């Protein structure tokens, strides 16, 4: 098992479900170009927060940080896997 990987019996933290859902919903909003995959636009994250009714500024900031971290990690992994091909 990879370092930091969740065990199958681990359950997601309910407070993070909004951010996880946002990340999965927004993955398709990335631009793809010659340089690879661009990050999820911050404006898309804020639009998702508005759509989902996340009105508290601190909660919006938390969702944005979480989504950007997941996005960065996935893009780094994509870049690593692409270079191995």
Domain ranges of the chain: 14-84
| pTM for the predicted model, two decimal places | 0.76
The predicted-structure confidence for 16-66, as pLDDT tens digits, reads as follows 888 999 999 999 899 887 777 889 999 999 999 999 999 999 999 999 999
Query: Quick one: pLDDT at residue 1?
Result: 44
CB 48 within 8 A of CB 25: yes
What are the residues whose beta carbons fall under 8 Å from the beta carbon of 10, sequence distance 6 or more?
none
Tell me the mean pLDDT in the region 75-81: 75
Q: Is 84 left (phi over 0), alpha (psi -120 to 50) or beta?
A: alpha
Residue the block writes with tokens 């996340």:
54
């Amino acid at each position: 098992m990879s370092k930091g990987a969740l065990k199958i019996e681990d359950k997601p933290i309910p407070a993070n479900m909004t951010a996880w859902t946002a990340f999965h919903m927004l993955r398709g909003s990335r631009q793809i170009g010659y340089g690879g995959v661009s990050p999820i636009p911050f404006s898309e994250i804020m639009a998702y927060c508005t759509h989902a009714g996340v009105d508290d500024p601190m909660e919006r900031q938390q969702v944005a940080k979480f989504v950007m971290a997941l996005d960065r990690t996935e893009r780094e992994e994509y870049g690593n896997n692409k270079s191995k091909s």
